[in-house]
Amino acid sequence: MGPKSRRREAQIGTIRFLLNDQVRELDAVDPNMTVLNYLRGVERKTGTKEGCAEGDCGACTVVLGQADGNRVRYRAVNACILFVPVLDGKQLITVEDLAAADGTPHPAQRAISELSGSQCGFCTPGFVMSLFALHASEPKPSRQRINDVLAGNLCRCTGYRPIIEAAQRMYGYGGGDRFAARQKETLKRLKALRRRGTLALEAKGRRYFAPTTLNEMARLCKAHPDACILAGGTDVGLWVTKEHRDLDILIYTGNVRELAKLKVANGHIDIGAAVTVTDAMDVIARHYPRFGELLRRFASVQIRNSGTIGGNVANGSPIGDSMPALIALGSSVVLRHGPRFREVPLDDFYLGYRETDLRPGEFVERVRVPVKSAARRFGAYKISKRFDQDISGVLGAYALELDGGQVRDIRICYGGMAAVPKRAVRCEKALIGQSWSDGAVARAMQALDADFQPLTDMRASADYRMLVAKNLLRKFWMETTNPGVGLDVVSYGS
Ligand SMILES: Cc1cc2nc3c(=O)[nH]c(=O)nc-3n(C[C@H](O)[C@H](O)[C@H](O)COP(=O)(O)OP(=O)(O)OC[C@H]3O[C@@H](n4cnc5c(N)ncnc54)[C@H](O)[C@@H]3O)c2cc1C
Ligand code: FES
Ligand code: FES
């Protein structure tokens, strides 16, 4: 690093954000401090609860407001795995902020109270915040959508029926809320907080950088090859809260304009590495409805609002949900190191258990997904113990091209069957050039024995995994050959 760069990085920055409608300026905050610990320990706002500290229970749900064109976009996130510097330029709303100045409760609070949607009350602030985000962003959610929105909030004593009814009733009181009434003013204030250059912080011996341009991101990653790249933090956050690791240098991708873009052009969906799962879902679903359906079962709304496709791919978990589907579709990753780029097919990117082809100082710039050709049929099935908010035991993804009744091409990829998300090459070979028939599929199912030697762990036994992997292939065949079933096939919980 040259002296000029060192001078530029030496500055101690200040995080600025709105806490409800008050500006907060923090200049000595530990970059590893979570928003939950900040709220409870520094602000003494204890309405936001800690249940699991790993993004699972939703007791810590808060809402982030962000300027989005000419409106403020409100989204629920888990405060327990969100680092405080990520708040820079945003509005943080907690359960203490919802009631009007005269004490009138927010429609979400009123409905929960009228319908007895709370017993011990520990989960209630989290539920209320999820309902508040829904109320602020969607006028008439379906029952299915309400279920999805509440899938990331767990309640052990009330039961969900009154809470779901409260979600429906809160729209019946008429009018908006004080956040809707002040939206213009809030938008102006958020725009004034928007940062043009890199935020560089140093506190408690740790450093945090949030660049705003791709070139600056590339420069920082090259200068700090040992830094931890932070996107949504839904994996990284747990390294601090559960593994008690010190992350001494963090480089945050979320403010880099180019990385937040998602484009469909030249036969590809280009997903910038900072695009959240929530933002990618609709576009992916337009091209591959069943991939969209798979993402609807990816964690919870709170996790999808923070977590990114880029982070899922870079994290390289053998049970990550997006990779088998991306690999079956022939996707690639564009990697950047300083000014240099390289594009790697995703099935070559994984070298071993949680080991990728990323080199020191290199980062994922985007994920490229080929757009569906008319001839291609795609299916993906996630098998997990619970339908919602659970990690896959096995995930099978299939992309098939037929020529008449014959298999011209098929790409099959499984998660949960090996140390990496892995293509079933022997199984594919057994099918290519064959008729797409029961007999050929039965032979290909047997070929899976040569492709994989799965492990037994807490999610599934090796035998179960193998049996499921075989049966999912048969399921795909049955659904693609049954004229009554759509071509993209549905994913189910077991
Ligand atoms: C409660 C809970 C439920 C979950 N459920 C699911 C699920 O159903 N399915 C699933 O697949 N996953 C699940 N996850 C895991 C996690 O949400 C995903 O892996 C998510 O996509 C990670 O994205 P992120 O933006 O949060 O990444 P981060 O946590 O910020 O980063 C993850 C890893 O990727 C690296 N990284 C991030 N961006 C880049 C980049 N641009 N270049 C290079 N490296 C980068 C980081 O350094 C880190 O190693 C769950 C997690 C939690 C906490
Ligand atoms: S405390 Fe459980 S999700 Fe945050
Ligand atoms: S009311 Fe007790 S956990 Fe939900």
User: In the structure, which protein residues have their CB atom closer than 6 angstroms to any atom of ligand 1?
Assistant: 54-56, 228-236, 238, 253, 273, 298-299, 303, 306-308, 310-312, 314-315, 320-321, 358, 363-364, 391
- Give the pLDDT confidence score for residue 13 in this predicted structure: 86
Instruction: Give the angle subtended at the CA of 31 by the CAs of 26 and 32, to the nearest 5°.
Output: 130
Residues of the chain above pLDDT 70, percent: 95
Mutate to test the pocket of ligand 3, among 50, 123, 161, 163 (most ligand atoms within 8 A of CB): 123
Whether 18 shows a pLDDT value over 80: the answer reads yes
Helices (H), 251-317: 277-287, 289-296, 301-306, 309-315
Number of domains in the chain: 2
Confidence tier at 484 by pLDDT (50, 70, 90):
low
Tell me whether residue 293 is in a domain: no
**Distance separating alpha carbons of residues 391 and 387, to the nearest angstrom:** 10
130 in contact with ligand 3, CB cutoff 6 A = no
Of 176, 195, 228, the position where a domain reaches its end is 176
Contact predicate 249/206, CB 8 Å: yes
**Distance separating alpha carbons of residues 182 and 193, to the nearest angstrom:** 17
| Four-CA torsion 63, 68, 72, 78, nearest 10 degrees | 0
* Burial (CB count within 10 angstroms: exposed 0-12, middle 13-18, buried 19+), residue 213: middle
- Tokens linked to 322: 């997006």
β pairing state of 22-26 and 268-272? unpaired
- Give the pLDDT confidence score for residue 130 in this predicted structure: 98
Confidence tier at 1 by pLDDT (50, 70, 90):
low
Contact predicate 488/462, CB 8 Å: no
Residues of the chain above pLDDT 90, percent: 90
User: In the structure, which protein residues have their CB atom closer than 6 angstroms to any atom of ligand 2?
Assistant: 50-53, 55-60, 78, 80
pLDDT tens column, 69-94:
999 999 999 999 999 999 999 999 99
Whether 486 shows a pLDDT value over 70: the answer reads no
Which of ligand 2's atoms lies nearest the C-alpha of 53? 1
Of 176, 205, 229, the position where a domain reaches its end is 176
β pairing state of 249-252 and 268-272? unpaired
Among 27, 51, 31, which residue's Cα sits nearest to residue 40?
A: 51
- Nearest protein CA to atom 2 of ligand 3, as residue: 120
**Distance separating alpha carbons of residues 203 and 443, to the nearest angstrom:** 60
Q: Report how far apart, in Å, the C-alpha atoms of 139 and of each of 132, 167, 168, 211, 285 are.
A: 12, 11, 11, 35, 22
The per-residue pLDDT of the chain, averaged, comes to: 94
Q: What residues contact 171, with CB distance under 8 A and at least 6 apart?
A: 107, 135, 139, 140
As a whole number, mean pLDDT of residues 111-117 equals: 97
Of 152, 176, 200, the position where a domain reaches its end is 176
- Give the pLDDT confidence score for residue 12 in this predicted structure: 61
pLDDT tens column, 121-175:
999 999 999 999 999 999 999 999 999 999 999 999 999 999 999 999 999 997 7
Instruction: Give the angle subtended at the CA of 78 by the CAs of 114 and 321, to the nearest 5°.
Output: 115
pLDDT tens column, 334-343:
999 999 999 9
- Domain carrying residue 405: 376-481
Q: Which residue reads 């680092």 in tokens?
A: 83
CATH of residue 139: 1.10.150.120
Whether 347 shows a pLDDT value over 90: the answer reads yes
Which strands, in side-by-side order, build the sheet including 199-203?
Answer: 199-203, 206-210, 249-252, 228-230
Tell me whether residue 286 is in a domain: no
**Distance separating alpha carbons of residues 132 and 463, to the nearest angstrom:** 44
- Give the pLDDT confidence score for residue 4 in this predicted structure: 53
Tell me whether residue 68 is in a domain: no
**Distance separating alpha carbons of residues 461 and 459, to the nearest angstrom:** 7
- Give the pLDDT confidence score for residue 489 in this predicted structure: 40
Among 234, 226, 112, 221, which residue's Cα sits nearest to residue 164?
A: 112
Tell me whether residue 406 is in a domain: yes
**Distance separating alpha carbons of residues 311 and 318, to the nearest angstrom:** 14
Give the number of the ligand closest to the Cα of residue 153: 2
pLDDT tens column, 406-431:
999 999 999 999 999 999 999 999 99
- Phi/psi at 396 (5° precision): -110, 135
Which of ligand 2's atoms lies nearest the C-alpha of 56? 3
Give the number of the ligand closest to the Cα of residue 303: 1
Neighbours of 14 (CB within 10 A): 14
Whether 204 shows a pLDDT value over 60: the answer reads yes
Most confident option among 13-22, 386-395, 476-485? 13-22
Q: Which residue has the higher pLDDT, 365 or 372?
A: 365
Q: Which sign does the torsion angle of CA 112, 114, 117, 122 carry?
A: positive
Instruction: Return the SS3 of 312.
Output: helix
DSSP state of 104: P
0.75 exceeded by the pTM? yes
Contact predicate 255/71, CB 8 Å: no
- Tokens linked to 19: 């806490």
Tell me whether residue 340 is in a domain: no
Q: What is the Å distance from ligand 3's center to 152 Cα?
A: 14
Instruction: Return the SS3 of 404.
Output: coil
Q: What is the Å distance from ligand 2's center to 10 Cα?
A: 34
Mutate to test the pocket of ligand 2, among 77, 78, 234 (most ligand atoms within 8 A of CB): 78
Tell me whether residue 459 is in a domain: yes
- Give the pLDDT confidence score for residue 340 in this predicted structure: 97
**Distance separating alpha carbons of residues 211 and 478, to the nearest angstrom:** 49
CATH of residue 415: 3.30.390.50
Whether 212 shows a pLDDT value over 80: the answer reads yes
Tell me whether residue 79 is in a domain: no
Among 377, 415, 420, which residue's Cα sits nearest to residue 396?
A: 415
- Which residue type does 233 have? G
Tell me whether residue 150 is in a domain: yes
- Nearest protein CA to atom 4 of ligand 3, as residue: 155
Whether 311 shows a pLDDT value over 80: the answer reads yes
Q: Which residue reads 């193998």 in tokens?
A: 466
